[in-house]
Each structure stands twice: as structure tokens, then as C-alpha cells.
Amino acid sequence: MPSEQTKTAPGNITEKESTHQQGSPAQLNGFNLAHDVTNPSSQPQFESRPPSPAPPPDTRILPREQWGGKYEFLLSCIGYCVGLGNVWRFPYLCYRNGGGVFLIPYFIMLFFTGVPLFLMELSLGQYGAAGPITVWKCCPLLKGIGIGMLCVSMLVCLYYNVIIAWTFYYLGSSFQSPLPWSCDAPANAYLCGNATVNSSSGRALSPSEVFWNERVLGVVNSKGLHDPGPVRWPLALCLLAAWVIIFFCMLKGIRSSGKVVYVTATFPYFVLIVLIIRGATLEGSLQGVAFYLTPDWGRLASAQVWNDAASQVFYSLGIGVGGLLSMASYNKFDNNVIRDCLVITIGNCSTSFFAGFAIFSILGHMAWRKGVPVGEVADTGPGLAFVAYPEALALLPGSVFWSILFFLMLFMLGVDTLFGNMEGITTAVLDEFPQLRANMKQKSLFLGLLCFGFYLMGLLLITDGGIYWFTLIDSFATSFGLIIITLFMCIGISFFYGVNQFCQDIIDMICLCPPWCSKVLLYFKACWVFCTPFLLLFILTYIFIEMYNTPLQYGTYVYPRWGKALGVCMGATCCLQIPIWAIVAISKESGTLKDRFKKSIRPLNSWRGNNLNNSGGGEERVEPERMEAPFTVNLTDRDTVNLTEVDFTAIAWENGTEA
């Protein structure tokens, strides 16, 4: 066994031959070696971990993929960040929290929380060239953060593709003329003429509400969370089609998804521009825009406004789920990560702002047609995307065309975001089991089983009562658990790994670092150490207070206590991975508890090895685990001559020993 043999460096240097004479220091390439290299007694003695057996010489895996170009990475990240929340959540939050005044706390939270965390995740992934689990070789104590990210990403993928299934259903229905949720449809004549009243809300039902609740969801046939009812098979087919598309788009990793984003990331911008231009020509559009942006300065004193701003920045950027970290891990090592961070975050938030004009200009026209205030037709979440806005589109000339265009845009937005979440899961698994990359058949089988498993679990969300389960997972999957994961990521990198070392890593990646990059890093350093953790604690405190005081409900249905407890368990499962895996990391070390802790926050030697493989351009090889303490080499004068012929590195030492 290698561990039982005497360590021998290349050049036949052994401890038995180390009889160096005093007064004649050994030399290496003309330089005198330090005394602590030639005299082992002068070195502090560290307890070293036994090296694991090296793999056979022919153990090879496929080289880690890289983006075909920087635009593929930028478009993938923009497509991942610019999701459905930019269209159906930001405009609603803006008008609910003081109109244009909401932009003040929004941009403050963006630059003190969103951008620093975004840069941290991109830099960590790019420097480590690894997924959300393997990247924590930089601090093994915090490996649970990667596991927690994986749990959150799985919950998001579970319900997010259900939204794409709904979009498919509406997209297929949009090819009918007249649209099935418009008053022109014969089946809706009784609704538009007689103003059918909803017994629970006491107001008239619109055809779009009836179509959504009865034709799509079937929620009228369910009594609540305990009564899911049968699967709605038209939606089941749409969900299956959605997962099949995701499977084929991700089959070849970023080589396939990186090409798809050229369409899926740019098409929504084309649609938004068309909708803004069309909305500006409609009667009543200015009324909707005014409702969107009219400032209410008194709202700045409300804590809810600041929490809504922080949560919108946080969730719209996709921080803490592992998708950003995974996509950045396929970058070239010298990519300018600071430039990409600023471009993506500013582009994402600008998209949210301009999407509000496309939404509220058309909602203003609908309010003008109905003769009601804009506030009565405005909504958020699925209610905006699948009830209010489709109803507004049905009032436009050429409504079929506009409906097809809108739901194609929703499909593209959803698919891009799901690409990022799925990339986080697959990258994490492939990095932990790199042999899967070597066999395309095994990798395809893994991806197929993963998609099929998500499909089977997603069937619960497309039953008659599936919307209740959807709302439960949506409310808790990215709630306090995600905030805690991100808080520990920020604290761990800043104080355990070291914020100065992390900034130096970023400078090392940007070979020709412009002067402005170094100055900007000072700002980010202050955010990572002070501002960002404080603001995350504020968000977390508000979430817990709101969760305790506010009942969870969908429409008029109030969730039972056991349902809310189930949601809390989902969020707790994600963040509890941090202490569980921290205990595992400490238990693997030896010594006192203090020594174990110090060892568990020390980066592994293989932490930098990934970067050598990533930037070398050759085949990536599974490296043997190396000793975690410095080794002692005793040299003689004649032995130093041989050292000029070899690469005196830890890798060469290990390879020479095993030979």
C-alpha cells in the first residue's frame, strides 16, 4: 500500500540519504533552501491525513465542459434571472408599495444585498470550477450549504415546471378563435350577459376566472389540501411535454442549453417591446401607467415595503439555489466575473421595471373598457398571468395573435429559469460522481430518471386540489430556509474562508484587473462583512414575524395548521443540512474540539487543483487525495542536482511516489 511505503521524491531522494553537512546549505536551482526545509526538527509537526489510494493510471473522465463563448454564459444567466417573477410579481409590488417610491428601497436593496451576493456566488463557482456541493472544498465545514441549495433547487423544479404546463395549456387554447376565455366565445355568453356572482367573494365572475378555476385547475371540485382529487390528464400531458423538452435541451449539458438560450433569452425582450408599443396606442393606457408609478412617499416608513423590495431582489436574481454557482463553474478561469455580475444584475432589474409598462398599459385599457379603477383588475402571481392579463388581451383586436405571443413569452421565461435550477442539480451530482461524465449513456439515464421522478411528483400539483399544494410549496420552498442558507454562505466566505483571500481569488481570476475592479472590490468587501449579513437578518426576522402572524391562504381557503407545519418542515429540511453536515465534517477530524473545528474550516489541497484542470485545456484527471500538512524533505548537495529535472510540486511528488 502507498501509505506503508517510505515517501520518495522524484530523483531518488530518501530520508536515509539526507546527511546534509552543517555550514554547507543545500541549493535548488542556485538558491539556498530555507533551514526548515533541510532540518525537520525546526518545523512544527502537524498531524497529516493519510492519503487515499491513487486511481489507476488510465482512470480518465471527460474534460469539464466550458461555455462556447462569453455570450452563452451571459444569456444563460440573464435567462435564468429574468423569470416569471419579473413579469407577474414586480409590477404588482411596485403599485402596492407606493408606485415609483418603491424603486428607492428596491435599488438600495439591490446594491447592498443582491449584487454582492450575486458576485459571491459567481466568483465561488468560477474559481472553484465545481458545483454547489464540491465547491465547498474551500471550507468543508460548510458543505451542508451545498446540500441545502440542492434541496431548495429540487423543490423549485418540482413546482416551477407546473407553471410551464399551465402555459402549454393556455398556448394550445390560444389557437382557437374566439379565445375560450373571452366574451365572444358562445360558452361564455351567460357569464357576460347575466354577470354570474361568485358566492364566496360576492362579485361577478369573469370568463377568464371561470376558465382558470374550472377548465384549467378544477379547483372547484376540491375542498382543500386534504382533498386533492384525481389527476387532470390534459395538464398531465402538458407537464410530460414540458419535462421532455427540458430533458432534450439539457441532454448534452451546456453544449445544448447554451445554444437554446440564444432564442429563449432574447425572445421575451422582443415580446415585451411589442407589448409596450401596442399598449401605448390603447385608450386608457396612461391611466394604468400612472397607477403603476404614482409615488406615495409615506410608504417609505413601512417595514413591509423594505422587506418586499429585498425579497424581490433576492428571488428575482436566483441567489442561493445553486444555479448561478453551477453555470459560473463552466466559465474560463480568467473570465471578468465583476463585469458579468454588473451586466446581469442591472439587466435583470431593468427588465422588471420595463415589464411593468407592458403589463399596466394593457391593464389600464381593460379598466377603461370596464369603467372600473385599475386597482380592481390588477393582480399578482398566477392571477395576473392566467386571469387578468389574458382577459385584457382578449379585448384587443387580433386577440389570438397577442395571446399566442404572450404565452410563448411566458414559456421562454419559465424554461430559462428551469434550465438554471436543473443545471444546479445535475452539476452537483456529476461533480460528486464524475464517472457519469465519461459515459454518455449513464449520464442520459441519470437525467432521464431525474426528469421522470420530477414528473411523477409533480402529478400531485395538477390534481383538482393541486393549486393548494402548489401554493404551499411556493410559499415555503424559497422562504426562510433559502435566506438562512445564503446568510451562512456570506458569513462562511467572509469569516471562515476569509474575505481578503476571497477578494484575492477574484483578482487572480481577472489577470489584467482594471483599476476600477480593485476599487469596486473594496465596496463588495464592506458589503460581505457588514451590510449584507445585517440586511439578511432583517429579512429573516420579518419573514418569521409575518409567518407567525399571517395565516396562509389561497383565495378564501385558509390552510389548516398541519398544512402550514408541513411547509415549515420543508423549509427547515433545507437549512438543517448546514448543522448536520458540519457535525459530519468535524467528526471526521482528530484532536480536541477546537482542533477539529480549525481543521474543518481549512481548504483542502485539491481546492486549487480544479482550477489547474479548468485552465489547462487538457483532459481532466481524478487527482489522488493529498496530505493536508506540509511534508519534510531532507536534501544532500548531490540530491539537489536531480531536483532541477522535475517539477517540485505536490502533484509531481504524489505521482512520483506512486510510480
Exposure string of 422-437, with b = 16+ CB inside 10 Å and e = fewer, is bbbbbbbbbbeeeebb
Paired sense of beta strands 553-554 and 557-558, if any? antiparallel
Please return the burial class of 192, using the count of CB atoms within 10 Å of its CB with bins 0-12, 13-18 and 19+. middle
Side chain identity at residue 397, one-letter code: P
Assess contact for 554 and 222: CB atoms under 8 A.
Answer: no
Is 142 known as a binding-site position? no
Half-sphere exposure of 78 (CA within 13 A, CB side): 26
Cell 505536490 locates to 650
For residue 74, give every residue at least 6 positions away whose Cβ sits within 8 Å of its Cβ, in sequence order, or none. Answer: 340, 343, 344
Cβ(372)–Cβ(291) under 8 Å? no
User: Is 642 annotated in some ligand binding site?
Assistant: no
The reply to whether 39 sits in an annotated binding site is no
Q: Which residue carries 489522488 as its cell? A: 624
Determine the Cα–Cα distance for residues 183 and 206; give it in Å rounded to an integer. 9
Element (H, E) at 314: helix 303-316
231 has which bridge partners?
463
Before 178, cis peptide (omega within 30)?
yes
250 vs 318: CA distance, rounded Å: 19
Spatial CA neighbour of 624 closest among 599, 585, 659: 659
| Exposure on the CB side of residue 93, measured as CA atoms within 13 A | 26
Instruction: Say if CB 654 and CB 7 are below 8 A apart.
Output: no
Q: Is residue 29 annotated as involved in ligand binding?
A: no
416 and 266 Cβ atoms separated by less than 8 Å: no
Ligand-binding site membership of 82 (annotated): yes
3-state class (DSSP) for residue 296? coil
Residues belonging to the binding site for Na(+) are 79, 82, 86, 316, 348, 413, 416
Q: Which residues are annotated as a binding site?
A: 79, 82, 86, 316, 348, 413, 416
